[in-house]
Amino acid sequence: MFDQVECTIPKDDGTLVSYVGFRVQHDNARGPMKGGIRYHPEVDPDEVNALAQLMTWKTAVADIPYGGAKGGIGCNPKDLSVSELERLTRVFTQKIHDLIGVNTDVPAPDMGTNAQDLGGSLGREPATGRGVVYATEALLAEYGKHIKDLTFAIQGFGNVGAWAGKLIHERGGKVVAVSDITGAVKNPNGLDIPALLSHKEKTGKLIDFAGADVMNSDELLTHECDVLIPCALGGVLNRENADNVKAKFIIEAANHPTDPDADEILSKKGVVILPDIYANAGGVTVSYFEWVQNIQGFMWDEEKVNRELKKYMTRAFHNLKGMCHSHNCNLRMGAFTLGVNRVARATQLRGWEA
């Protein structure tokens, strides 16, 4: 189901301005639909539709009882004051009020929005980055490898990349290169991630950090490392750069960072790609824990949240590997097969099949 609404709000100066908002509901065979709401100037109905479908498969792979949805408003949140953003959010919520609800469709923060809310779960902010690390540990264990023995390059140092970098550093892994929109830095002996994070907090950028050399951001994806973690935009690995990737493992923390051409080139090179619909499912998994806690009115401590997240991510990886073995396919095909099978089975059990 696709819903488009017009949201008109008074700006702080009294003038009226209108924005177009969307909510796409893809599938609810396995439970209430779940998906973020993004505020971005280029929110596009086709993109929102594709992301809603992706959420259906992602929740199925993680084995949480949700379907897929996605929403957005075509606006630039940087151009709006806090009170304007609040008015816009309230109007949008009123317009889609009949579509959403705790048992039908549960929105979440996304690009350009945040978690300002009541009843949030501990551990939700680092959840996607933490899930990426648990997924990486599960994959490496298959090859008899450990984070502490490997080098990592991280593209994107926002919420997901920063938390993944911090947790890899804590486990003794060597993060040798990091980039974001402000630039890129490298240190072959490993970056001091906590010091880099505090430098970024103080200055707003990665460059000029004393413990690193500046590098060209475009070179990060082809930098010498064992594990590459793209945490930024989609389509960053393509036919132009895939042949030059030196990493042996790619963990897709971003949505769709590897385009089909790159997928083929990298597979032929023997690079192991952990697909986005599994690798970045930590966020929606902890969103599920949040939903459970709110329904019960019983909040968990952060240790329990992290313990449960590790259990879900590890179990999902073994289910995914099982699918790869039985269908003799790679991890991406195994993940989609697992997700589609689970949704098809739920649809059949409900008697909804055509």
Catalytic residues: 70
* Residues of each annotated binding site for substrate: 34, 58, 287
Alpha-carbon span 157 to 245, nearest angstrom: 20
Helix H or strand E encompassing 249: strand 249-251
Which structure tokens are listed for 129? 């980055």
Helix H or strand E encompassing 35: strand 33-40
* Residues of each annotated binding site: 34, 58, 128, 159, 287
Strands 151-155 and 2-10: unpaired
Terminal-residue alpha carbon distance, the chain:
17
CA-CA-CA-CA torsion sign (151, 230, 286, 85): positive
Helix H or strand E encompassing 153: strand 151-155
Which structure tokens are listed for 68? 């897929």
Which structure tokens are listed for 165? 């970098």
Residue 267 contacts residue 324 (beta carbons within 8 Å): no
- Amino acid residing at 148: K
Kindly give, in sequence order, each residue whose CB lies less than 8 Å from that of residue 192, ignoring residues fewer than 6 positions away: 169, 211
> Helix or strand or coil: residue 3?
strand
